[in-house]
Amino acid sequence: MIQVTDLSKSYSRGDKGLVHALVDVSFEIAKGEFVVVRGASGSGKSTLLNLIGCLDVPTSGRYLFAGEDVADYRDKQLARIRNQKIGFIFQSFNLLPRTTAIENVELPLVYLDGRVDRKRALAALERVGLAARARHFPNELSGGEQQRVAIARALINSPGLILADEPTGNLDQKAGAEVMGILQELHKEGRTILLVTHDDEVARYARRELFLRDGRIISDRTLPGHGHSTAIGGAR
Amino acid sequence: MKIHALISQATRVTRRYPLRSTLMTGGVLIGIASLALLTSVGEATKHLTMQRFKNMIGTFDTLMVRPGGAKSRGMPTLVNVPPTLRFDDAQAIAQLPEIKSVAEMQSAFDIDIKYRDKTASPGVFGVSPNWLALRSDELAEGNFFTEEQNSALARVAVIGTDVRSALFPEEDPLGKTIRIAEVPFQVIGILQSRGAGPAGGSLDNVILIPVSTASRRLFNRDYLTMLIAQLRDPNQADIVTSEVQTLLRYRHSIRPPELDDFTVTNPRATMARVTQAGNTLSRILTGVSVLALLIGGAVIMGLMSIAVSERRNEVGVRRSVGASQSDIVVQFMFEALFVALMGGLGGVAIGCGAVLLGARMRMMPANLLWQPFAQGIVLSLVIGLLCGIYPAWKASRIDPIQAIRF
Ligand SMILES: Nc1ncnc2c1ncn2[C@@H]1O[C@H](COP(=O)(O)OP(=O)(O)OP(=O)(O)O)[C@@H](O)[C@H]1O
Ligand SMILES: [Mg+2]
């Protein structure tokens, strides 16, 4: 599903020279994997996710998404991939303000073909247990609820890849567990999930861990067992 | 289909930020309203001036010759008439081959008219029998006086509608005897109403009597207030004007450097000047409102640019869920177009209302022209388009990664 070869990303900071956010990173992720990306703050985790999510372009290296070299794609084609193949979930939810939950969930449909289908959006909200909050505005929802609306938005076009950048970072334990429960279900449906987190509890949901330091992958290992996830599943 | 969804996103955004949208709409609204109102006023005034001018001049295939030099150009003054234009001048002009006929006129404005216990003081005009035809005036009732009545110094009068209502509010004036400066005259006809003149005053407060009768029995003058010469070919007005000038200078023994003691006006030329002045007025008014519109446009552009900075996160989110740069451009362009169009429609409605109100309060004619309003709508769209370009471009250049970092 994802093949990354010698991927690098540098940011110029004017006089202060270049920041090497990612340096020669190579790995593959197969369809259906649940991978957690870990590392200290500033180690390049978000940068990696943005590159994989086609929101950013690498300085060098190769990135094949579903076998296609994304480097050749124009803005419109990248937008299409983000719209149909990838669902983003962010730490800060990133819902549109003054916009109801359901309208937020519908947003990807606007850029799919413009056919905004209320029923589909409502089904997506139902999926995350928030059908009753469809007409609420983000500032009327708790953090956990906002994040679930964001998940419904990420799901509406049924993408194969979910990219979650510290999705529980702004949530308390319980809301975080709810969000992770939903991600786990999505994984069980066969979706590929790439998760960034600082939280050991959250990291345990994944089966594989990529560890970054100063923009390089210093460890790529399979995580042992997943009895923990069943426990949470039971608690829900 | 997709464009439809983008338009709907744009209109939703304008609803989500009502204050900002109202401010943006307001600028264009004021501009369009003043544009529509001022151009309507300008056009209506021009129209009215032309109409009144026409009322006064009558036909256009004529020259008007008045005594006195060029100091009082423009509209003829009828009081303080210099004694330089005479009956035999009129006859000489009538001999010119390009002239079809000449009508003579003497006037007085300080004469009392009486009928029984009622009085009036209209303008008293001694005119030749062809006057009516040359002015393309018409009679409402009765007859005009004939060549024979003029030669016989007949005491007959044709009255305007104002005189009729002053002296004969309930009676039929025809055949009645009125007294003009104590001289009895018989009313033989009533003029059709002519409405207002260029200065707005009534043209119906008049009495017409045969010019010979006026000259010998009433005014004791052998000079004219004005004569009207009808041209055989209206296109020769300029040539004939200078011919008449040459003839009169010769007859009055005027040599250069002496100036004319008469004035020849060509109604066509005067009309053109009046129209020109009206056009200039409309242009100035249009300029003022275009300025207002530009300010409205600048308001849209400024507020939208600020809005773009405030909405960086929104743009980033939209990009992350699949908006391309061009989708962002389209959305912001439609936002600008939408608020500008709302302003345009509101402005047109207000402008329309103001014109109708003005007409109702009789401050201006109820002459609702559609052009200023159509112009207003089109202009608002153009403004929206032009003012949307920069903010839309700016929005499309936002880096989504920067924008969605918390
Ligand atoms: N647009 C940018 N311009 C300059 N430097 C940047 C930019 N974006 C990221 N960086 C730098 O690149 C490095 C990696 O940043 P990144 O956001 O990927 O870190 P991270 O691992 O996600 O950290 P965190 O855990 O705090 O979210 C950091 O040193 C950061 O300062
Ligand atoms: Mg990060």
> What local confidence, expressed as pLDDT, does residue B78 receive?
54
Which amino acid is residue A179, in one-letter code? V
Put simply, the answer to whether A111 touches B323 (Cβ < 8 Å) is: yes
Paired residues of A163 in beta bridges: A88, A194
Pocket of ligand 1 (CB under 6 A): A 11, 13, 19, 21, 39, 41-47; B 402
The answer as to whether A236 is a domain residue is: no
Interface A–B counts its CB contacts (< 8 A) at: 83
Q: Could you tell me the two tokens for A141?
A: 């929802």
Q: Could you tell me the two tokens for A50?
A: 């943005």
Give the pLDDT band of residue B73 (cuts 50, 70, 90): very low
Cα–Cα distance between A168 and A84 in angstroms, integer? 24
Q: Does the beta carbon of A167 lie under 8 angstroms from any beta carbon of chain B?
A: no
Cα–Cα distance between B287 and B273 in angstroms, integer? 21
- Residue B319's closest chain A neighbor by CA? A79
Number of separate domains in chain A: 1
The C-alpha angle A49, A15, B316, rounded to 5 degrees, equals 30
> What local confidence, expressed as pLDDT, does residue A225 receive?
65
The answer as to whether A235 is a domain residue is: no
Cα–Cα distance between B208 and B80 in angstroms, integer? 19
Res B267 pLDDT > 80: no
Paired residues of B184 in beta bridges: B179
The answer as to whether A143 is a domain residue is: yes
Higher-pLDDT residue of A231, B250? B250
Put simply, the answer to whether A115 touches B5 (Cβ < 8 Å) is: yes
Q: Does the beta carbon of B321 lie under 8 angstroms from any beta carbon of chain A?
A: yes
Question: Nearest by CB to B321, which of A97, A111, A113?
Answer: A111
* Cβ B133 vs Cβ B190: under 8 Å: no
> What local confidence, expressed as pLDDT, does residue A74 receive?
92
> What local confidence, expressed as pLDDT, does residue B354 receive?
84
The answer as to whether A232 is a domain residue is: no
Q: How many CB atoms lie within 10 A of CB A119?
A: 7
Question: Nearest by CB to B323, which of A56, A79, A157?
Answer: A79
Q: Could you tell me the two tokens for B324?
A: 């391309």
* φ, ψ dihedrals at B254, nearest 5°: -95, 125
Ligand 1 mean position, distance from CA A42 (Å): 5
The answer as to whether A74 is a domain residue is: yes
User: Residues of B with CB below 8 A from A88's CB?
Assistant: 320-321
Put simply, the answer to whether A99 touches B322 (Cβ < 8 Å) is: no
Query: Which of A45, A56, A211 has the most ligand 1 atoms within 8 A of CB, as the residue to mutate?
Result: A45
Q: Does the beta carbon of A55 lie under 8 angstroms from any beta carbon of chain B?
A: yes
* Cβ B290 vs Cβ B383: under 8 Å: no
**Segment B290-313 mean pLDDT:** 87
**Quick one: what percent of chain B has pLDDT higher than 90?**
40
* φ, ψ dihedrals at A83, nearest 5°: -70, -45
Alpha helices in B58-72 (DSSP H): none
- Residue in B20, B313, B314, B321 to test binding to A, most A beta-carbons within 10 Å: B321
Dump pLDDT digits (tens) for A172-222.
Answer: 999 999 999 999 999 999 999 999 999 999 999 999 999 999 999 999 999
Q: Does the beta carbon of A234 lie under 8 angstroms from any beta carbon of chain B?
A: no
Ligand 1 mean position, distance from CA A183 (Å): 25
Going B329 to B334 to B339 to B345, the CA torsion angle's sign is positive
Which amino acid is residue B199, in one-letter code? A
Give the residue from A149, A153, A36 showing the smallest Cα distance to A86. A153
The answer as to whether A160 is a domain residue is: yes
* Cβ B302 vs Cβ B309: under 8 Å: no
Ligand 1 mean position, distance from CA A16 (Å): 15
The answer as to whether A228 is a domain residue is: no
Higher-pLDDT residue of B357, A103? A103
Strands B226-231 and B62-67: antiparallel
The CATH number assigned to the domain holding A77 equals: 3.40.50.300
> What local confidence, expressed as pLDDT, does residue A228 receive?
47
Q: Does the beta carbon of A80 lie under 8 angstroms from any beta carbon of chain B?
A: yes
Question: Nearest by CB to B2, which of A90, A113, A153?
Answer: A113
Res B294 pLDDT > 90: no
Dump pLDDT digits (tens) for A47-92.
Answer: 999 999 999 999 999 999 999 999 889 999 999 999 999 999 999 9
- Residue B3's closest chain A neighbor by CA? A114
Q: Does the beta carbon of A158 lie under 8 angstroms from any beta carbon of chain B?
A: no
Res A6 pLDDT > 90: yes
Atom of ligand 1 nearest to the CA of A215: 14
Query: Which of B312, B398, B402, B405 has the most ligand 1 atoms within 8 A of CB, as the residue to mutate?
Result: B402
Put simply, the answer to whether A111 touches B2 (Cβ < 8 Å) is: yes
Dump pLDDT digits (tens) for B117-156.
Answer: 999 989 999 999 999 888 878 899 999 999 999 999 999 9
Domain of residue A172, residue span: 2-222
Sheet with A2-12, edge to edge strand ranges: A18-29, A2-12, A60-65, A68-69
Res B406 pLDDT > 60: no
Q: Could you tell me the two tokens for B135?
A: 């002015």
Nearest C-alpha to atom 17 of ligand 1 is from which residue?
A46
Question: Nearest by CB to A55, which of B2, B5, B320?
Answer: B320
* Cβ B160 vs Cβ B206: under 8 Å: yes
Cα–Cα distance between A220 and A211 in angstroms, integer? 6
**Quick one: what percent of chain A has pLDDT higher than 70?**
95
Q: Does the beta carbon of B401 lie under 8 angstroms from any beta carbon of chain A?
A: yes
Paired residues of B104 in beta bridges: B227
Give the pLDDT band of residue B211 (cuts 50, 70, 90): very high
* Cβ B73 vs Cβ B263: under 8 Å: yes
The answer as to whether A227 is a domain residue is: no
* Cβ A65 vs Cβ A82: under 8 Å: no
Give the residue from B52, B77, B48, B51 showing the smallest Cα distance to B64. B77
**Quick one: what percent of chain B has pLDDT higher than 70?**
92
Give the pLDDT band of residue B75 (cuts 50, 70, 90): very low
DSSP A140-188: GS-HHHHHHHHHHHHHTT--SEEEEESTTTTS-HHHHHHHHHHHHHHHH
User: Residues of B with CB below 8 A from A80's CB?
Assistant: 322, 324
Q: Does the beta carbon of A131 lie under 8 angstroms from any beta carbon of chain B?
A: no
Give the residue from B230, B250, B266, B262 showing the smallest Cα distance to B98. B230
Q: Does the beta carbon of B326 lie under 8 angstroms from any beta carbon of chain A?
A: yes
